[in-house]
Structure 1
Amino acid sequence: MIWVAAAAATRLGGGGAPDIPVARIVLAFLLCIAVAGLAILLLRQRGAPLAWRRIGEARGAIEIGEVRRLTLHADIGVVRHAGREYLLLVQAGAASVLHERDVDEGPAA
């Protein structure tokens, strides 16, 4: 029974090392690098598609001033909206306003 399984494995998979020359692997790698380089040059020359350009350009009414990580599940951040500045504590599943002030005011005491 063991001999039959060994014979079937040799017949199906060949049972030996793959016969792919190293030069062929290196040439395929170099071809991939060349295609990626051409894609980068093309995107730089003609510009990114319109949908890609919109990422990060949106200027809305909310401006995030600064964010700091407190713990693995909690962040604290400063958010500005409509002339007001809010100090927010954002936790997993909850957010709370710790302090708010007008932006025109000096530093809070």
Structure 2
Amino acid sequence: MWKASIHLRIAQSLAAPHILLTTNLIGVAPEALAKSFEKHLPICIRPLPLDIPTFEIAMYWHDRYHRDPENKWLRETVGRALKESVIGLSYPPYHTDIRGFYSGASSLHI
């Protein structure tokens, strides 16, 4: 069984291109992000040799901000940006299942 050897973890994905260009390391990133790096930098994308689990992204907020127009705008803007840019899906109608949990028409999995 093949096992990855992790030498570095980064908190900010924008640091990845610099690391990849100045070391002999390889990186793993969401496909849309990797493609955006590939457009502007001399890196190439290859498929992973293994399946990786999906994960869910959610937003939470305090109940007092649920109807706040600025907070609602921010939630919708962030949700739209994630769905369109990172995941490459169209943005579904906005709604909440419970107070403070963002959910689109279905769970947001990447």
TM-score > 0.5 by shorter chain: no
Higher strand share: 1
Instruction: Name the larger-Rg structure.
Output: 1
TM superposition score normalised by structure 2: 0.19
Q: Which has the higher contact order (CA 8 A, sep 6+)?
A: 2
TM-score (norm 1): 0.19
